[in-house]
Amino acid sequence: MTAAARRAAPGLAGRLGGEAVQLLPDPALWWPAAATLFIADLHLGKAATFRARGLPVPSGTTQANLARLAALMARYGARRLVVLGDFLHAAEAQTPAVLASLAAWRAVHAALDIVLVRGNHDSHAGDPPSMLGIAVVDEPFLLGPFAACHHPQRHATHHVLAGHVHPAIVLQGPARDALRLPCFCVEEAEGMTLLPAFGEFTGSAVLARAPGRRLFAVGTGQVWEVPRT
């Protein structure tokens, strides 16, 4: 583990696929033995896509997402970043402003090894420009004990890390108040973990509690396991 990772907030430690990992509130999954961060569903340029389609939404989400990612990598000393699909939101996301922000960000992190596992939005948006130096692969991408995927699926020999769903959970209080939070979802019988969406300008899908399913809520800079009942 790097010195930066030892100084960072530890997240919630556990084991997946026989490896020690941490579920981070950023949200991301940290694999310390390989100095690797896994994130899902960045959807960069989504706001630009909406504006191109005539929907008046605020700008600045791409820069905000890249700044959060830069801070996260610096905090843990990541040497590799694996994006579990949906790097860009759509073809309209490849605007001069979005591409300039990406190029500037990549120049600062030139030594970082980046792998994109193609997702459904990537098939429409197209691969990132080659000048970004991102290795683009199809699922499943096998890395150590993990099968990095975009779509949830089973794998015969590896623990699957996937995105696509944007999982969330609703916590209900005694006064009929409710709070919707992103969450990690570990499907024990399936050998699969779903990561919440990293991109800020994304929706989410509420998952119900179920046998063999462990849900880990993300909020206020923390990750905690939600009781199964």
Beta strands (DSSP E) in the chain are 12-16, 19-24, 28-31, 36-39, 80-83, 113-117, 135-137, 141-143, 146-148, 159-162, 167-172, 178-187, 192-194, 205-206, 213-219, 222-225
Q: Cβ distance 195 to 204 under 8 Å?
A: no
Q: Indicate the pLDDT class of residue 56, thresholds 50, 70 and 90.
A: very low
**ω before 27 within 30° of 0 (cis)?**
yes
Sign of CA dihedral 111, 43, 93, 115: positive
What's the whole-model pTM score?
0.88
Rg (the chain; Cα; Å): 17
Which of 1-15, 104-118, 138-152 comes out lowest in average pLDDT?
Answer: 1-15
Q: What is the DSSP letter of 150?
A: S
Q: Indicate the pLDDT class of residue 58, thresholds 50, 70 and 90.
A: very low
pLDDT tens string 62-78: 888 899 999 999 999 99
pLDDT at 52: 53
